[in-house]
Structures are given as C-alpha cells and as structure tokens.
Amino acid sequence: MTIHPATLYLDRLDAVVFDTDGVVTDTARTHASAWKRTFDEFLRRRGRTTGADQPLFDVRVDYLRFVDGRPRLDGVRAFLDSRGIVLPEDTDPVDTSADTVLSLAARKTRYFLEDVDRHGVAAFPSTVALLRELRRRRVRTAVVPSSRNCARVLAAARVSDLFDIRVDGLDMARLGLPGKPDPALFCEAARRLRVRPDRCAVLEDALAGVEAGRRGGFALVVGVDRLGLLDGALYERGAHVVVRDLADITLTWRNREPLVAQV
C-alpha cells in the first residue's frame, strides 16, 4: 500500500464531499459486524437445511469486496451471488420467516442500530477538524452515504451541522437513483451544492465509492485506508491519492502544482 499526503487546492475546488462510515464516523466496523452476524446466521441456517456448509462471512474479504459502500440490498445480492446463492427478493406471504434479500437487509439494519443505540457513535477527530477548517474557509461540504440511517448516525456523533447538505439512501429511494459505484448520488450532491463535479473533491474509504467518484468526473478522489487492508485496490478503482487519515490532508489556496497527485 502506497500512502501519500494529499493537498486540496482551494482555488481549484468549491466543495468537498464525504462518505460517512469510515471517513466521518467510526462506524465501518459496526456495519461490518452487523453484516457478519446477519450472514453467519443465514449461512448456518442454510447449512443445517441443505447439509452443505459454506465458509462464514469474512470481514476482511467479503465486506470490502461485496458490501462496503453499496446500498443494503445491493450488498446482500452481491454477497449471495459470490456464494452462488439465489433468494427471493421479498418475504413469502405464507412463510414470513423465510430468508429473502429484503429480510436479510432488514436484519442487518436492526443489528446495526442496536449497536449504535448501545454504544453510540464517534466521529474521527481529524475529520471534524478538517470539516471545521473547510467551513471556516467557506468551502461547501456534503455527506453522501448509501445508508438510510445517515441522519441518525450523524446526530449521534454530533456532526450534523458540519455539512451543508446530505444525500443518502433515503434520497436514493425517493429519486430512484442507482447506488454506488454509479456516481448518481455524488452528482446529485454536486447539483444541490450548485458546483460542477470538476470543482469538487470526494473523500471515500469504500471501493464502490471511489469508483463512483472517478466515474463521475470529480476533480480529486481521495481514498481513505485507515487500516491498510485494501492493498492498492483503492488506486485500481480510481483513487487519485490514498491517505491513512484525514490529518494527512493539507489545505492551501495557491496551486503551483497539478491538482491530481502523480503516484
């Protein structure tokens, strides 16, 4: 993994767009734990029914490859497809306990919110410092997760007021927008901020989110790899630069170098 400092040249940027989990709040592990509990329970039930055991959900591999950054239903479908499993989309009206794409997604949400209610949510101090400095310098900010629970998470972390707008899973459903890695959510955020994508930076820790930022033509896509687990995958998906923490980001007004770091 090659980690570089990143410079945001504010004379070339009008806005910065943040993902939530793993970038603003320390909830990526909470999501991963909820997914593991959901899929492990499902795989054990299926193994008892079919007699064919499968490896349990791997947080380091399955979460990052199939689930992280995607809308819940897309994450369920992607993981099941990786195991060659096909489930009905919705609940059988006769057997409401049946495993379906929708029921697995609902269980994951329940487990995640139970953990949030029990343990609370922490925002990364370096992210809070960056957000406050951006706002002090009158740079607009947006938060763009795929989750429908973003407002609840931001409120729990007490950082809601650091963003000018929020575009999340609720907006995606209301507007019929595709989820990441499609850039639609990021482009909607840029539209609401009244800035062009090529005047906006994206900060993302998920492979799908990094790909979305690059596909959307955003000026700078910064991958965040706090644990060093992605082994260059963020670069492969389109990150211009990868940082370990948002404290590695420098703000300046004078652009005497190319906007995109050469790595």
Q: Which residues are catalytic?
A: 19, 21
The two three-digit tokens of residue 144, written as one number:
């763009």
For residue 68, the 8-state DSSP code is: T
Beta bridge partners of 201: 16, 220
Token code pair at residue 217:
């033509």
Beta-carbon neighbour count of residue 57 at 10 Å?
Answer: 22
* Angle between helix 101-119 and 72-82 (nearest 10): 120
Closest CA to 152 of 25, 262, 64: 25
Cα gap 194→205, rounded to integer Å: 24
Tokens found for residue 14: 């009008």
Both tokens of 163, joined, read 């963003």
